[in-house]
């Protein structure tokens, strides 16, 4: 939902506004900008939000964009891995902002807000303060503090009790995971990766305001917001413009993960039947399955226990991607693995069976693309746990 902008591009488009603050003229307008998703890129599949302030009399037309970071920040990759991602509010000419999304074929919707001069000035002053070098950086959170939620918070905090939010137009009945899956339907491998890495916290039903982590919902909520007035209330949006239609088309992955894992399951079942008949286990196949599964388990454990990715906690994917699979896979390299491995594989097989049998009962939704892979692990676990074949 954010727009990745390299350091060089950031400094090219950024402008130094410090010391240029002025009082907005009566013709000034403040708009919420919603940019459509790019269904072919994971980082932009959720769309984007920004604030535009245009004041023709003062020659001011800038985009205030909370979705910017640069790779040159200290310890960027380490912070990213640890869940300490720092983004910043960038301010640059609106024409440059609009051009980037027009070039990519993404829609641009503009909601011009019906604000009093005092309300405009308050939002403008806050954004100018927030854009100062010492104030512009914030700690990014993909669901709770991003380019969209920042705009929600600006409206709520700066308009205060004058802002009336209507959340009755839809029923809050989705989890963070469900909405993520919806937006990543054209990127199944990216969807799978996120589903594996994030745990139980994103499976709770969202509150209405939490839907606004998505730019589309910022637009929907703003459309229905009201402002208090002497006559009761007025619509927050006085005009809506479509600056650019959506033209980018989605392309689909040549190999869907469900197909890839389905083929893997067929191969595993076929080779396992062959192993059963010849009374000999294919060690290479188990190394191919259990070592990668163990590496995934190590990654999930690290995300859960050693980082600030709080949404990666309590991850039920560890039930099939046991970190101990990595150690067991390395032990299998030996010519004569220890006998206790049979007990280990029986236990692991039971865990896989619990996942498959209780698929719809687990508190965390497991990505359905993983079902063939989990069944493949189940087959090999029970084959190794039940037999005394040679290896």
Q: Is the dihedral of CA 31, 36, 37, 40 positive or negative?
A: negative
- Establish if 74 belongs to a structural domain: yes
Q: Output the pLDDT for position 72.
A: 65
Q: Output the pLDDT for position 141.
A: 93
pLDDT tens-place string over residues 12-22: 445 455 455 67
Structural domain harbouring 92: 7-172+207-244
Number of domains the chain contains = 2
- Cα 140–95–73 angle (5° rounding)? 30
- Cα 196–197–201 angle (5° rounding)? 100
Half-sphere exposure of 358 (CA within 13 A, CB side): 12
Other beta carbons within 10 angstroms of residue 94's beta carbon come to 22
Examine the domain organization and report whether 219 and 83 are in the same domain.
Answer: yes
Collapsing DSSP to helix, strand or coil, 390 comes out as strand
Q: How confident is the model at residue 213 (pLDDT cuts 50, 70, 90)?
A: very high
Q: Are 378 and 348 in contact (CB under 8 A)?
A: no
In the chain, which ranges are E strands?
29-35, 48-55, 60-68, 85-93, 108-113, 137-140, 163-164, 226-229, 232-235, 237-244
- Establish if 187 belongs to a structural domain: no
Least confident of 91-100, 116-125, 162-171: 162-171
Among residues 233, 64, 240, 239, which one has the least CA distance to residue 163?
Answer: 233
- Establish if 334 belongs to a structural domain: yes
Examine the domain organization and report whether 92 and 153 are in the same domain.
Answer: yes
**CATH code, domain carrying 94:** 3.90.1720
pLDDT tens-place string over residues 240-282: 999 999 888 888 777 999 999 999 999 999 999 999 999 999 9
Examine the domain organization and report whether 288 and 236 are in the same domain.
Answer: no
| Tokens encoding 21 | 């603050």
Task: Identify the domain boundary among 195, 220, 244.
Answer: 244
Other beta carbons within 10 angstroms of residue 364's beta carbon come to 18
- Cα 382–386–387 angle (5° rounding)? 120
Q: Output the pLDDT for position 288.
A: 97
Q: What percentage of residues in the chain have a pLDDT greater than 90?
A: 77
**What is the distance of C-alpha 30 from the center of its chain?**
28
Examine the domain organization and report whether 301 and 368 are in the same domain.
Answer: yes
Q: Output the pLDDT for position 43.
A: 84
Task: Identify the domain boundary among 244, 269, 290.
Answer: 244
Non-local (6+) Cβ contacts of 199 within 8 A are: 300, 304, 311, 312, 313, 314, 315, 316, 317, 364
Other beta carbons within 10 angstroms of residue 145's beta carbon come to 17
* DSSP type of residue 104: T
Least confident of 2-11, 63-72, 120-129: 2-11
Least confident of 5-9, 110-114, 124-128: 5-9
Examine the domain organization and report whether 311 and 236 are in the same domain.
Answer: no
Examine the domain organization and report whether 142 and 283 are in the same domain.
Answer: no
């Amino acid at each position: 939902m954010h727009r990745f902008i390299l350091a060089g591009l950031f400094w090219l488009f950024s402008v130094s506004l410090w010391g240029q603050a002025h009082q907005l003229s009566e013709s000034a307008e403040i708009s919420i900008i919603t940019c459509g998703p790019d269904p072919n890129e994971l980082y932009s599949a959720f769309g984007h939000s920004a604030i535009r302030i245009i004041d023709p009399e003062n020659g001011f037309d800038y985009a205030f964009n909370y979705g910017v970071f640069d790779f040159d920040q200290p310890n960027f990759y380490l912070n990213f891995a640890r869940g300490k991602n720092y983004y910043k509010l960038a301010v640059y000419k609106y024409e440059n902002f609009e051009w980037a999304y027009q070039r990519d074929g993404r829609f641009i919707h503009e909601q011009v807000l019906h604000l009093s001069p005092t309300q405009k000035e308050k939002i403008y002053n806050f954004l100018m303060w927030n854009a100062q070098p010492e104030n512009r950086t914030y700690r990014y959170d993909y669901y709770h503090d991003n380019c969209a939620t920042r705009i929600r918070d600006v409206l709520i905090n700066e308009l205060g009790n004058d802002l009336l939010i209507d959340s009755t137009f839809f029923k809050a009945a989705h989890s963070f995971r469900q909405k993520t899956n919806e937006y990543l339907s054209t990127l199944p491998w990216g969807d799978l990766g996120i589903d594996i890495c994030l745990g139980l916290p994103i499976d709770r039903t969202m509150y209405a305001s939490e839907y606004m982590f998505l730019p589309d919902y910022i637009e929907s909520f703003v459309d229905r917001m009201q402002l208090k007035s002497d006559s009761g209330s007025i619509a927050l949006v006085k005009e809506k413009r479509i600056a650019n239609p959506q033209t980018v088309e989605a392309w689909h992955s040549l190999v869907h993960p469900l197909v890839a894992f389905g083929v893997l399951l067929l191969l595993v079942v076929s080779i396992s039947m062959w192993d059963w008949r010849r009374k000999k286990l294919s060690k290479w196949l188990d190394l191919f399955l259990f070592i990668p599964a163990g590496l995934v388990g190590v990654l999930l454990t690290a995300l859960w226990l050693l980082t600030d990715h709080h949404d990666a906690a309590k991850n039920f994917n560890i039930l099939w991607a046991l970190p101990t699979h990595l150690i067991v896979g390395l032990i299998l390299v030996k010519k004569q693995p220890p006998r206790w491995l049979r007990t280990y594989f029986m236990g692991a097989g039971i865990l896989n069976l619990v996942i498959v049998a209780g698929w719809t009962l687990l508190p965390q939704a497991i990505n359905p693309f993983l079902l063939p892979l989990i069944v493949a692990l189940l087959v090999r676990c029970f084959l190794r746990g039940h037999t005394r074949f040679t290896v």
